[in-house]
């Protein structure tokens, strides 16, 4: 058998469990489960106004215990016959109901709904599964590892580089903190987004529901059903759900991925400089035996780029749907799981690297102490503060383009006629400002976010389990 995507071949074993939860088969199961929950809800509502007989406890248990693990081929046969996937879902459920002795309610399946009422809710479930059962745990691990590294190296002085050139010293912990705080920002954005959902009929007017009964406040009860599935009910729709909450979510994941690319690239450069040694699978050169390439970082970068591109292109496209409905978004939305899969792979590679790196403090210190010229900023700022009006210009003549050791630095101070003890006692390793304090502040913020994300993951997973979408 041939495969088009490497996710179905090269990376399949790594993504086997994920694939089972986001595949087309899974999407069909989510739609069937939405139909089951809606049918249970509908019978309860209609029984209260005397239109149908309520379900007995045994009947309700039969309905809610329906499983669809082995029904995909039957679904495909029905779809091929009808030419409509959601109608095939409806007909398959009717057959299942009759098969377990619930034929009396089979005619109520999908009553009042349009296809998109089922699809938007099932897709929202699929996305929540991908994010909270797979992506968020990986990101939580990544942030936790960054916290450990920040704490360990908060005070380790390191040569800064701006434009790739030696610059004001920093600390390794602070540079890790920069990336950790960016990740924290995006995690908080992502978990704050509550996907919308809707049941509103063929053009969003709920026109079919008064035909069932005009004695029911349908906007209210349908809103309650959508809320019960964990979605924010959309106030006004066309046939489709307004895409904005979904596009915000996918775009945020895409932009977070771009931020993580920045982390992967910085780690790659630190590895090149010898500051870090990356362990892992020793993949080298086919011709140069001495090499060990940082392939996990490069793989992380590639997957994050591809995942981000897919998700942001999906977000761009689905923002527009002609009039009350066009189907151009349908095939595009089916690739959401693909985009998130690449992001998950990228994050996993980062986790593999960061959980098993060595920091070479000797090389970091050696590099820093070979560049005393980076103290030129300290000199010109200190002297201006003490009243030397042309301190920058004088320092410029001595330091620009130079590379200094400690003796060169002392001679430069003498050339400027400096007798200031602060500058005499200064060294590159002491010129790190508030880097350590800033790092510790970031650690506190990250720990708060880790607790928040952990709670959100647990809440979402428990909701999805209670509704029967997970743990079946």
Give residue for tokens 């088969």. Answer: 25
Beta bridge partners of 404: none
Q: What is the pLDDT of residue 281?
A: 63
pLDDT, tens digit, 9 for 90 and up, residues 58-97:
999 999 999 999 999 999 999 999 999 999 999 999 999 9
Identify which has the larger pLDDT, 289 or 372.
372
Residue 374 sits in a domain whose CATH number is 1.10.40
Confidence of residue 385 (pLDDT cuts 50, 70, 90): very high
Contact of 374 with 159, CB cutoff 8 Å: yes
Distance CA 205, CA 202 (A): 8
Distance CA 458, CA 472 (A): 17
pLDDT, tens digit, 9 for 90 and up, residues 393-433:
998 988 888 899 999 999 988 888 887 899 999 999 999 99
In a shared domain, residues 65 and 102: yes
Q: What is the pLDDT of residue 278?
A: 83
Q: What is the pLDDT of residue 427?
A: 96
Burial class (CB in 10 A: 0-12, 13-18, 19+), 20: exposed
Q: Which of 201-210, 316-325, 345-354 has the lowest mean pLDDT?
A: 316-325
Residue 472 belongs to some domain of the structure:
no
In a shared domain, residues 445 and 310: yes
Is pLDDT of 3 > 80?
A: no
From residue 138, give the alpha-carbon distance in Å to each of 129, 252, 420: 13, 16, 51
What's the DSSP call for residue 290? T
Nearby residues of 258 by Cβ (< 8 Å), 6 or more positions away: 304, 308
Percent of the chain with pLDDT over 90: 84
In a shared domain, residues 194 and 306: yes
Q: What's the whole-number mean pLDDT along residues 106-135?
A: 97
Catalytically annotated residue among 5, 47, 192, 285: 285
- Is 321 considered catalytic here? no
Residue 1 belongs to some domain of the structure:
no
Burial class (CB in 10 A: 0-12, 13-18, 19+), 428: buried
Residue 222 belongs to some domain of the structure:
yes
In a shared domain, residues 420 and 445: no
In a shared domain, residues 354 and 372: no
Q: Which tokens is 256 given?
A: 């977070």
Is pLDDT of 456 > 80?
A: yes
In a shared domain, residues 299 and 442: yes
89: nearest Cα among 75, 108, 69? 75
Distance CA 64, CA 66 (A): 6
In a shared domain, residues 33 and 120: no
Confidence of residue 284 (pLDDT cuts 50, 70, 90): low
Contact of 372 with 386, CB cutoff 8 Å: no
Distance CA 230, CA 263 (A): 33
Is pLDDT of 143 > 70?
A: yes
Contact of 111 with 42, CB cutoff 8 Å: yes
Contact of 416 with 394, CB cutoff 8 Å: yes
Burial class (CB in 10 A: 0-12, 13-18, 19+), 76: middle
Contact of 17 with 41, CB cutoff 8 Å: no
Q: What is the pLDDT of residue 312?
A: 96
Q: What is the pLDDT of residue 294?
A: 78
Give residue for tokens 């600390």. Answer: 171
Q: Which tokens is 150 given?
A: 């920040």
Residue 246 sits in a domain whose CATH number is 1.20.200.10
Domain encompassing residue 97: 6-111
- Is 285 considered catalytic here? yes
Distance CA 265, CA 11 (A): 22
Distance CA 67, CA 59 (A): 15
First to last CA, the chain: 30
Is pLDDT of 326 > 90?
A: no
Confidence of residue 9 (pLDDT cuts 50, 70, 90): confident
Q: What is the pLDDT of residue 471?
A: 83
In a shared domain, residues 227 and 358: yes
Q: Where are the alpha helices (DSSP H) in 100-204?
A: 115-130, 136-153, 172-192
Residue 121 belongs to some domain of the structure:
yes
Domain tally, the chain: 3
CB atoms within 10 A of CB 58: 9
Q: What is the pLDDT of residue 316?
A: 94
In a shared domain, residues 162 and 293: yes
């Amino acid at each position: 058998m041939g495969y088009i995507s490497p996710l179905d071949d090269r990376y399949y074993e790594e993504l086997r469990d994920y694939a089972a939860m986001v595949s087309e088969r899974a999407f069909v199961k989510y739609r069937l489960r939405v139909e089951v929950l809606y049918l249970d809800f509908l019978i309860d509502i209609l029984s209260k106004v005397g239109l149908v007989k309520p379900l007995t406890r045994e009947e309700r248990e039969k309905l809610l215990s329906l499983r669809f693990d082995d029904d995909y081929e039957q679904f495909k046969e029905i779809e091929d016959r009808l030419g409509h996937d959601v109608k095939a879902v409806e007909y398959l459920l009717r057959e299942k109901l009759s098969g377990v002795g619930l034929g009396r309610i089979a005619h109520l399946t999908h009553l009042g709904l349009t296809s998109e009422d089922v699809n938007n809710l099932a897709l929202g479930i699929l996305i929540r599964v991908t994010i909270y059962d797979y992506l968020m745990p990986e990101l939580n691990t990544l942030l936790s590892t960054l916290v450990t590294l920040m704490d360990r190296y908060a005070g380790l002085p390191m040569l800064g580089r701006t434009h790739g050139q030696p610059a004001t010293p920093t600390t390794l912990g602070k540079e890790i903190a920069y990336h950790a705080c960016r990740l924290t920002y995006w995690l908080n954005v992502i978990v704050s987004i509550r996907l919308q959902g809707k049941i509103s009929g063929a053009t969003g007017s709920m026109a079919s529901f008064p035909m069932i009964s005009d004695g029911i406040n349908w906007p209210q009860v349908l809103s309650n059903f959508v809320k019960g599935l964990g979605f924010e009910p959309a106030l006004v729709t066309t046939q489709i759900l307004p895409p904005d909450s979904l596009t915000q979510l996918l775009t945020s994941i895409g932009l977070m991925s771009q931020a993580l690319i920045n982390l992967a690239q910085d780690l790659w450069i630190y590895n090149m400089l010898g500051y870090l040694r990356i362990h892992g699978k020793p993949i080298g050169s086919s011709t140069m035996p001495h090499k060990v390439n940082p392939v996990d970082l490069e793989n992380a970068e590639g997957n994050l780029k591809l995942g981000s591109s897919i998700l942001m292109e999906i977000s761009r496209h689905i923002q527009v749907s002609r009039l009350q409905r066009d189907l151009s978004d349908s095939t595009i939305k089916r690739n959401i799981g693909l985009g998130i899969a690449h992001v998950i792979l990228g994050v996993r590679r980062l986790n593999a690297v960061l959980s098993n790196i060595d920091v070479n403090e000797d090389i970091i210190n050696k590099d820093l102490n070979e560049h005393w010229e980076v103290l030129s900023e300290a000199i010109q700022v200190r002297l201006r503060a003490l009243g030397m009006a042309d301190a920058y210009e004088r320092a410029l003549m001595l330091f620009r383009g130079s590379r200094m050791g400690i003796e060169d630095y002392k001679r430069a101070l003498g050339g400027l006629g400096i007798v200031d003890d602060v500058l005499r006692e200064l060294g590159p390793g002491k010129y790190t400002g508030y880097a350590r304090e800033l790092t510790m502040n970031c650690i506190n913020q990250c720990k708060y976010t880790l607790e928040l994300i952990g709670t959100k993951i647990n809440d979402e997973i428990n909701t999805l389990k209670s509704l029967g979408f997970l743990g079946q």
